[in-house]
């Protein structure tokens, strides 16, 4: 999959349908030559449009070196020495100035994929990794570029480490993880944007000369921008057009940039946001940047999606949970908010158990004096006025009903009105001389402090040790502001944002090791930290606080573009919806929630008899579909966000024998009694049975399936498709 042509000085990385090619220019500079459809030849140096003497004399005495540097498609561009496009590395040297000039110093190709110290990353022994070493002899700086691939997947995983091999202190002010140079031509930038309760909407913008960017400087990957950027050819669709994607395996502040240069070429970069970032690198120390996943498709978005789904299922998600059955749960948040006690929870559990629901999750409000959101975060002690007899008694009571038990935490936060804050005000992030700004009446713990990390861990682990708890919802309800630490010295304050993210990884990794059977679900005000980094620790993430089924269509479509359905936290909630006030039929709410982990977010003791009676069949149906949802190939057929009338996607088993079609009619159209849907992913030479009728796979995919729809809005259904043997 990876090779080096010594004579031509060409590196070539092949996946099943793509090739990634780099070359050593002038014996010293590493240049990007090609990324695209798989190509068998590697002699692509001619793509560098330079006079031969420029290539030979690039590094010594060339009177036009600046022009050369500003045109060369650097594989890892640096700041300060002639490349004025977006850079990846900016280093402040011992004299206080900036400038890095990296030269090629060697390579190795190894089997497998090395771990990244302290960071989540894709993994697998079946892969192969290319490590290219670059050096700046003036700074005595070593940079190692890693490229990994796995069999059968059209993705290239990239990461960077920077090592100070000199004696002077260096300061890293920008360390992005990857750069991708793409040629000329009209294209669009595709990203996932939004806000609270409307996360990850698919957005496309024409790319023109200059810079476009997505970013989060909030200390989390954020509701507003998702750490994914793609260049797509104009009018690229689900099954046509070129796609160059970059997905960042990181959960903190990030920046992704697309730049169209004066010469018409494009450059994409992705990495930790350089705002408020400065990492002190002492002699002998290294800095490891997070991983970026590159993905190329020459046949549209569907192929990109399936490659990312396969990569994350097989090489990122916790192995225990990838294909293991997930419990259908009921969460009490929208049922009770803070107003509950043990009797109320047991009443919900008893009713839920009788309808086939498998787990009760106790949300916010069980600890300290937590009767609203204005106190007690950090005081992780059970409120025995609410839970008489303690947590274990409640858990045992739920277990006696045949149900598992889950619990909510927000470990990274601290309330000013809490015992722990009154004892340790220095445990919260704050700027000297300023009163820190609150959000949701809370502050952020200073996780750079070892004693804070230990306190946070033992607070969570102690509760888990005290009772038979199967699931944890780890929440995080505000961005980072007032980013100052009384623990870190003045010249290391620029490390604080990144150190917070590393601490979250450390805590969740430690939790998963001590409690290997624990099902961990991440959450951050809904979907503010839905990213590949968190999936390394938790096999599912709460998709959005907006549980309205119709709003969820666009949110889940954007999420499904990148992530397997099995990681998407989705529940059936009460109506009128608590966020929007809209009412949607109970069955349609269930159809939409089938796109993810499936559960309920309502008071089952108060809904109508008709809705309660529908739950057992919904649970049974989800359990039957779960293996297909976890393992099958996803195909997007129609987007409500685009057409404004209906939404439709399909999941097909790997052997193409079974499939389900999810269809939601949002708005009925006058005088339109039916709609024809062209299916995808079936075997063209086999027959399929739908509702007792037999169709050829070729007919279903080319001519389509007629969907007869009743009058009315918000109608959803799931259609089962199975291979038919005559």
Q: 């590493």: which residue's tokens?
A: 30
Pull the structure tokens for residue 100: 């890095």
Per the annotation, the verdict on 642 as an active-site residue is no
Q: How confident is the model at residue 377 (pLDDT cuts 50, 70, 90)?
A: very high
Q: What is the pLDDT of residues 400-444, one digit of tens each?
A: 999 999 999 999 999 999 999 999 999 999 999 999 999 999 999
Check residue 314 and give its pLDDT. 97
For the beta carbon of residue 108, count every other beta carbon within 10 angstroms.
Answer: 11
Q: Which residues 6+ apart lie within 8 Å of 725 measured at CB?
A: 687
Q: At what angle do helices 496-514 and 450-466 cross, to 10 degrees?
A: 30
Mean pLDDT of 349-378: 97
Q: How confident is the model at residue 615 (pLDDT cuts 50, 70, 90)?
A: very high
Higher pLDDT, 45 or 91: 91
The CA distances from residue 702 to 278, 315, 353, 683, 719, in Å, are 56, 34, 45, 12, 18
Q: How confident is the model at residue 713 (pLDDT cuts 50, 70, 90)?
A: confident
Choose the weakest-confidence range: 48-57, 244-253, 469-478, 691-700: 48-57
From 243, 72, 192, 98, select the one nearest 563 (Cα to Cα): 192
* pLDDT surpassing 80 at residue 673: no
Q: Of 54, 531, 545, 548, which residue is the catalytic one?
A: 545
Share in percent of the chain as helix, strand, coil (round to 5): 25, 35, 45
Count of CA atoms in the C-beta half-sphere (13 A) of 570: 28
DSSP per position, 168-184: S-EEEEEEEEEEEEE-S
**334 within 8 A of 601, measured Cβ to Cβ:** yes
Mean pLDDT of 350-360: 98
**In the beta sheet, which residues pair with residue 131?**
108, 146
Pull the structure tokens for residue 237: 């669709």
Task: Report d(CA 228, CA 432) in Å as an integer.
Answer: 35
* pLDDT surpassing 80 at residue 670: no
Q: How confident is the model at residue 59 (pLDDT cuts 50, 70, 90)?
A: low
* pLDDT surpassing 70 at residue 60: no
* pLDDT surpassing 90 at residue 692: yes
Pull the structure tokens for residue 681: 């992913």
Alpha helix stretches (DSSP H) within 138-214: none
* pLDDT surpassing 70 at residue 62: no
Q: What is the mean pLDDT of the chain?
A: 95
**All structural domains of the chain:** 2-315 (2.70.98.60), 319-421+455-482+500-631 (3.20.20.70), 637-724 (2.60.40.1180)
Q: Of 14, 154, 475, 531, which residue is the catalytic one?
A: 475
Check residue 55 and give its pLDDT. 55
* pLDDT surpassing 90 at residue 66: no
Pull the structure tokens for residue 533: 């980094």
Mean pLDDT of 624-635: 96
Give the β-pairing of 170-182 and 155-164.
Answer: unpaired
Task: Report d(CA 568, CA 570) in Å as an integer.
Answer: 6
For the beta carbon of residue 278, count every other beta carbon within 10 angstroms.
Answer: 18
From 125, 124, 126, 130, select the one nearest 110 (Cα to Cα): 130
Check residue 82 and give its pLDDT. 86
Q: Tell whether the torsion through CA atoms of 260, 263, 265 and 271 is positive or negative.
A: negative
Q: Which residues 6+ apart lie within 8 Å of 666 measured at CB?
A: 550, 553, 640, 644, 645, 646, 647, 713, 714
3-state secondary structure of 649: strand
Q: What is the pLDDT of residues 517-533, one digit of tens each?
A: 999 999 999 999 999 99
Per the annotation, the verdict on 545 as an active-site residue is yes
Q: What is the pLDDT of residues 137-191, one digit of tens each?
A: 999 999 999 999 999 999 999 999 999 999 999 999 999 999 999 988 899 999 9
Mean pLDDT of 650-668: 96
Check residue 674 and give its pLDDT. 83
Span between the terminal Cα atoms of the chain, in Å: 42
**143 within 8 A of 76, measured Cβ to Cβ:** yes
**In the beta sheet, which residues pair with residue 246?**
229, 294
Mean pLDDT of 690-704: 97
Q: How confident is the model at residue 468 (pLDDT cuts 50, 70, 90)?
A: very high
Q: Which residues 6+ apart lie within 8 Å of 664 measured at CB?
A: 549, 550, 553, 588, 591, 592, 640, 646, 647, 648, 714, 715, 716
3-state secondary structure of 508: helix
């Amino acid at each position: 999959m990876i090779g080096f042509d010594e004579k031509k000085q060409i590196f070539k990385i092949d996946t099943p349908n793509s090739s990634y090619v780099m070359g050593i220019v002038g014996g010293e500079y590493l240049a990007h030559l090609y990324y695209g459809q798989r190509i068998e030849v590697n002699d692509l140096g001619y793509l560098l449009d330079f006079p031969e003497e420029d290539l030979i004399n690039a590094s010594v005495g060339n009177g036009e070196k600046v022009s050369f540097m500003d045109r060369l498609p650097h594989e890892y561009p640096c700041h300060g020495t002639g490349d004025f496009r977006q850079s990846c590395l900016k280093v402040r040297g011992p004299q206080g100035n900036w400038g890095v000039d990296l030269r090629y110093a060697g390579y190795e190709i190894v089997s497998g994929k090395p771990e990244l110290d302290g960071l989540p990353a894709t993994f697998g022994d079946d892969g192969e990794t290319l490590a290219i070493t670059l050096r700046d002899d003036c700074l005595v700086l070593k940079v190692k570029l890693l490229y990994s691939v796995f069999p059968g997947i059209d993705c290239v995983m990239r990461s960077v480490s920077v090592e100070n091999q000199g004696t002077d202190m260096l300061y890293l002010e920008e360390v992005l993880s990857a750069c991708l140079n793409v040629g000329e031509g009209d294209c669009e930038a595709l990203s996932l944007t939004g806000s609270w309760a409307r996360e990850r909407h698919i957005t496309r913008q024409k790319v023109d000369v200059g810079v476009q960017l997505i970013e989060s400087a909030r200390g989390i990957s954020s509701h507003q921008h998702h750490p994914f950027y793609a260049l797509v050819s104009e009018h690229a669709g689900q099954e046509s057009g070129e796609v160059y994607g970059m997905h960042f395996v990181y959960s903190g502040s990030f920046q992704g940039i697309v730049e169209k240069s004066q010469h018409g070429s494009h450059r994409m970069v992705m990495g930790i946001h350089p705002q408020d970032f400065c990492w002190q690198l002492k002699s002998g120390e290294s800095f490891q940047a997070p991983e970026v996943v590159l993905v190329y498709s020459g046949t549209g978005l569907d192929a990109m999606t399936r490659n990312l789904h396969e990569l994350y299922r097989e090489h990122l998600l916790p192995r225990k949970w990838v294909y293991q059955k997930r419990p259908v749960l009921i969460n009490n948040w929208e049922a009770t908010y803070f107003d509950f006690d043990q009797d109320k929870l047991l009443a919900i559990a008893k009713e839920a158990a009788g309808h086939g629901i498998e787990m009760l999750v106790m949300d916010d409000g069980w600890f300290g004096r937590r009767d609203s959101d204005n106190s007690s975060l950090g005081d992780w002690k059970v409120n025995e006025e609410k839970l008489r007899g303690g947590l274990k008694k409640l858990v045992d009571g739920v277990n006696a009903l045949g149900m598992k038990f889950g619990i909510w935490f927000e470990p990274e936060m601290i309330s000013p009105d809490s015992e722990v804050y009154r004892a340790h005000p220095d445990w919260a992030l704050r700027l000297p001389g300023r009163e820190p700004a609150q959000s949701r009446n809370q502050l952020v713990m200073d996780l750079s402090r070892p004693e804070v990390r230990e306190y946070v861990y033992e607070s969570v682990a102690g509760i888990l040790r005290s009772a038979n708890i199967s699931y944890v919802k780890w929440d995080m309800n505000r961005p980072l502001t007032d980013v100052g630490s009384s623990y870190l010295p003045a010249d290391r304050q620029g490390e604080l944002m990144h150190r917070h993210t590393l601490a979250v990884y450390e805590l969740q990794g430690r939790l998963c090791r001590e409690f290997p059977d624990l099902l961990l679900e991440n959450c951050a005000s809904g979907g503010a930290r839905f990213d590949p980094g968190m999936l390394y620790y938790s096999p599912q993430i709460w998709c959005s606080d907006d549980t309205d089924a119709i709003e969820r269509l666009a949110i889940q479509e954007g999420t499904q573009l990148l992530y397997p359905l099995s990681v998407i936290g989705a529940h059936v909630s009460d109506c009128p919806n608590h966020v929007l006030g809209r009412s949607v039929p109970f069955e349609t709410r269930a159809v939409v929630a089938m796109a993810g982990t499936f559960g309920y977010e309502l008071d089952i003791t108060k809904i109508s008899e008709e809705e309660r009676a529908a739950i057992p069949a919904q649970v049974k149906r989800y359990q039957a579909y779960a293996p297909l949802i976890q393992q099958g190939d996803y195909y997007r057929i129609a987007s409500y966000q685009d057409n404004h009338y209906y939404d439709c996607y399909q999941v097909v088993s790997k052997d193409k024998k079974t499939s389900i079609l999810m269809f939601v009619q949002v708005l009925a159209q006058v005088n339109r009694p039916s709609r024809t849907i062209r299916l995808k992913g079936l075997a063209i030479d086999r027959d399929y049975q739908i509702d007792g009728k037999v169709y050829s796979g070729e007919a279903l995919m080319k001519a389509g399936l007629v969907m007869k729809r009743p009058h009315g809005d918000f109608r959803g259904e799931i259609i089962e498709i199975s291979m038919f043997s005559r």
